[in-house]
Structure 1
Amino acid sequence: MQLEIWSDIMCPFCYIGKRRLETALAQFPHRDDLTITWRSFELDPTMQTTPGQSIHELLAERKGVSVEQGRQMNAHMAQVAREVGLDFDFDQVVPVNTFLAHRFLHLAARHGRQDAAKERVLAAYFTEGRNVADLDTLAELGAELGLDPAEIRETLQTDAYAQEVRHDEYQARQIGVRGVPYFVFDNKYAVSGAQPSELFLEVLDKVWEEKHPAPQVLASGPACGIDGTDC
């Protein structure tokens, strides 16, 4: 069973949606038979790092509101995150272009560590105030996951995995992704947004049952019951 998830590192709902999915997976009896692939999606490919600019100022600028209103919007998002056990620190968030971080996730995938890398980068961005567009930072995060920091630096200093990121984004356009997170189950069903865990579990069960239908009983005759009382 396959699950592809398009998301961006700078998207708070992507982290919240990840936690809600994980809550559903904890209740899904076939979770070990599920393969998750994280797909790249940049909310703003033209994003430029502005030294000293806070995420509150960036949000205010993009929404056409005051900085204080931007701060209030982020405070509300932080409250939503706390409901799923996440501690967002928007005062420390470093707004950056996420292209390099997406390439890092593709590198981690080659070593079988993509899911762990996704979690680590999201935590670094939202809770630790780390600059995830910094090569040394990504090398440090990768080393925590058992990856070779020298390989990370050497690889990301080239254009390696740039094509993979662009291909993910091309696929997103082809299937009509307009916002993230966006979850595609077995290339058949899609769930858009950080939906409640109950909905994720419902979809997981539905997809599994369609792939593994129960045998259809065509005829029924005399038989012993489970407790033996009918024998």
Structure 2
Amino acid sequence: MKIQIWSDVMCPFCYIGKRRFELALQQFEHKDAIEIEWKSFQLNPNLVTDTTININQYLADIKGITLDHAKQMNEQVTQMAAQVGLAYDFDRAIVANSFDAHRFAHLAKQNSLGNEVEEALFNAYFTQGKNISDHDTLAELGKQIGLDKAEVYHTLSGNKYAVNVQQDIAQAQQLGVRGVPFFVMDNKYGISGAQEVPTFVQTIEKAYTEWVAANPQTKPEVIEGDSCEPGGSC
């Protein structure tokens, strides 16, 4: 059964939602039957990367609040992240446009490294204070998860996977997604936001039960004959 997840690298609740979803999946008996597909979303596609300010100042500017208020808001999110084992450092986080990071993620997904790249990007952004729009940074992250650095540079030097990112965003709009994270279970059930673990568990179980009923696994009737079995028994 497929579960699709729309997220943006710069969304603090997306990383928290990812971890809560993973905790729920650990409790699910049939987790090996789940296919996860990450989808791109941009909260601010017009954002210009600015390494001179941090996320606290950025939040204060876009919301029209004081810097102290912005710090208090981010501290609350930091505490929420800590509850699922994540160490956020908003003082180090760099304001960066995420479009190239999403293109990079699509390259990784083509190499069956979709979950690995999302984890690497979130960690780089929220914990390590990396500039996730910088191509050198993305190439190094690619190397860490098993991609060829030259291929990452080649991908980012042009417009490869730009259409894929735009298609993901368009699909989210068609589904009525207004914020991320957004989880879709078997194209039937949606979960908006970083919900608590029990909510994920209940929805996954419900979707999976219905998926199994609609996709019964049948075994063929076997006519026995001379054959060899694993281990050399013939």
**How does the TM-score come out when normalised to structure 2?**
0.90
Aligned counterparts of 1:168 and 1:131: Cα–Cα separation in 2: 23
Does residue 66 of structure 1 match 2:51? Answer: no
Structure 2 equivalent of residue 82 of structure 1: 82
Distance of 2:129 and 2:95 partners within structure 1: 9
Contact 2:49 2:133 survives alignment (8 Å): no
SS at match of 1:28: coil
- Matched residue type, 2:80: V
**Aligned residue runs from structure 1 range 42-57, under 5 A:** 42-57=42-57
| Contact kept in structure 1, 2:51 and 2:95, CA below 8 Å | no
Q: CA deviation at 1:50?
A: 2.3
Structure 1 letter corresponding to 2:172: A
| C-alpha distance in 2 between matches for 1:49 and 1:213 | 48
Summarize deviations over 1:203-226 as a string: whole Å, max 9, x none: 111011112249xxxxxxxxxxxx
Whole-angstrom distance in 2 between the partners of 1:105 and 1:138 = 9
Q: Give matches, 1:150-229, under 5 Å.
A: 150-213=150-213
**2:9 partner amino acid:** I
How far does the alpha carbon of each residue in 1:183-210 deviate from its partner, in whole angstroms, 9 at most, with x for none?
A: 0001111010000010100011101111
Q: CA deviation at 1:68?
A: 1.0
- Secondary structure, aligned partner of 1:191: strand
Alignment-derived partner of residue 135 in structure 1: 135
Q: CA RMSD in A?
A: 1.0
The answer to whether 1:96 aligns with 2:92 is no
Instruction: Report the number of matched residues.
Output: 214
Question: SS of the counterpart of 1:130?
Answer: coil
SS in 2 for 1:212: helix
Distance 2:134 2:213 in 1: 48
Per-residue deviation, 1:146: 1.1
Taking the aligned partners of 1:196 and 1:83, their CA distance within structure 2 comes to: 11
In structure 2, the partner of 1:10 is 10
The one-letter code sitting in structure 2 at the alignment partner of 1:197 is V
TM-score, normalised via structure 1 length: 0.91
1:103-114 matches, within 5 Å, as 103-114=103-114
C-alpha distance in 1 between matches for 2:74 and 2:212: 43
Aligned to 2:123, what secondary structure does the other structure show? helix
* Aligned-pair CA distance for 1:49: 1.6
Q: What CA deviation, in whole Å up to 9, does each residue of 1:144-202 have, x standing for no partner?
A: 11110011001110100000000000000001000000000011110100000101000
In 2, distance between residues paired with 1:213 and 1:39? 27
Residue 33 of structure 1 is matched in structure 2 by 33
In 2, distance between residues paired with 1:195 and 1:174? 22
2:219 aligns with none
SS at match of 2:187: coil
Give aligned-pair identity as a percent.
49
Structure 1 residues 105-124: aligned runs within 5 Å = 105-124=105-124
The gaps in structure 1 that reach 5 residues or longer are 215-231
Q: Equivalents in 2 of 1:211, 1:22: separation in Å?
A: 20
Q: Which amino acid aligns with 1:101?
A: A
Please state whether the residue corresponding to 2:93 is helix, strand or coil. Answer: coil
User: What is the CA–CA distance in structure 2 between the aligned matches of 1:83 and 1:93, rounded to whole Å?
Assistant: 20
Distance 1:63 1:56 in 2: 11
